[in-house]
Amino acid sequence: MKKNLSLVLIVLLAFSLTAKLSAAGKSDSNANSSSPSQTSKKNIRIFFEHCSNSWEVSYQWWYGAKKAAQELGITVNGGAADDDSPAKNIALIEQAIANKYDGIVSLSLVSDSYQVVYDKASAAGIPVFTYHMDAPDSKRIAYFGPNQESYAKNSAHFVADEMGKKGSVITIQGTPSDTESMIIDVFTKEINSYAPDIKVVAHVNNTIDAAQSYQKITAVLQANPDVRGSFSCTSRGGADFAKVCDELGIKIVSNVTMDPLSYNLDLLKQGKLTGIVDQGALTTGYNAVKACYQWLTNGKLDPPFHTGINYIPDVVVSTKNMAPYEEGINAALQLQKNNDNK
């Protein structure tokens, strides 16, 4: 009897031990499958394409990406053409796919061309996130950037309020692109509606060439000496307007341009610019890298990020709110000085 009881106890103990080991094994397995380990998170590699090694704004995008990588403790490698060539940048993305990066963050300079390579990355299991310029018909996960129509309207109100809702202004456009034309059209319609006593007396187009820009703005202001304000949808347009006004002795009431670049910030401090439209150079690349990391580690995006379009708030930088921009702008300039772009 005792012998039989002992055998029963041994069997029960063995069964109990086997059950505990089995349960422990299931618990570990579920934990590993539902959330990546810290090691796997740290091993994530993201390729960040930032368009041109010759642009100051490119280094602002790159600064944001590097900042996100440092905060997350991951590897983000940069790449850009020396001359903003779409073909060269697409080739860099092709190489990132071949090198099996975990994720790709890119600026879609020409949406149709970039769509092909984005879809190729997606087919290879590499998620793509875009910033500043989107390829909405591609299989990218999310876009982070400005809402041009919205900030054009916001800028119209800013200029009108500075002008006291009366007087004459001009608009300045860099290239005859559809995007820039849309921005100027929206601005003009909005300022006409919001402040009917303000007249947009002239529009200056094709100002990418500095010498031509100077000549065209000079001719317009000589023909319209009562102009006291300007809105430019290029980063240098406001600087050109300020230079001509200085030479002609015109007092500027409102001068709003694009992008808080270092030279624009200096002009803002000097009172030669009154506002700079923030297109998110310091934040869009930063947010896109963080979103890519979330997707790679969790398979989803956490609020405030979401799939699809993520617009940044409309902000016109003035002397009242410029301080937070200076640190990032100076850091980006240092990256450019050191040729730190990878």
Tens digits of pLDDT across the chain (342 residues): 433 434 333 333 333 433 332 333 332 232 222 233 333 566 899 999 998 888 899 999 999 999 999 999 999 999 998 887 899 999 999 999 999 999 999 998 877 889 999 999 999 999 999 999 899 999 999 999 999 999 999 999 999 999 999 999 999 998 887 888 999 999 999 999 999 999 999 999 988 888 889 999 999 999 999 999 999 999 899 999 999 999 999 999 999 999 999 999 999 999 999 999 999 999 999 999 999 999 999 999 999 999 999 999 999 999 999 998 999 999 998 988 888 888
Phi-psi region of 85 (alpha: psi -120 to 50; beta: other; left: phi over 0): beta
The residue to which tokens 């060539």 are assigned? 85
pTM of the model: 0.81
Torsion of CA 258, 263, 266, 272, to 10 degrees: -60
Domains along the chain with CATH numbers: 39-146+281-313+326-337 (3.40.50.2300), 148-277 (3.40.50.2300)
As given in the structure block, the two tokens for residue 317 are 């930088």
Going by the DSSP 8-state scheme, the letter that residue 11 receives in this structure is H
Q: Is 139 exposed, middle or buried (0-12, 13-18, 19+ CB in 10 A)?
A: middle
Torsion of CA 110, 315, 312, 237, to 10 degrees: 10
CA-to-CA dists, residue 267 to 22, 256, 270, angstroms: 70, 11, 5
Nearest to 79 by CA among 95, 67, 68: 95
CB 255 within 8 A of CB 273: yes
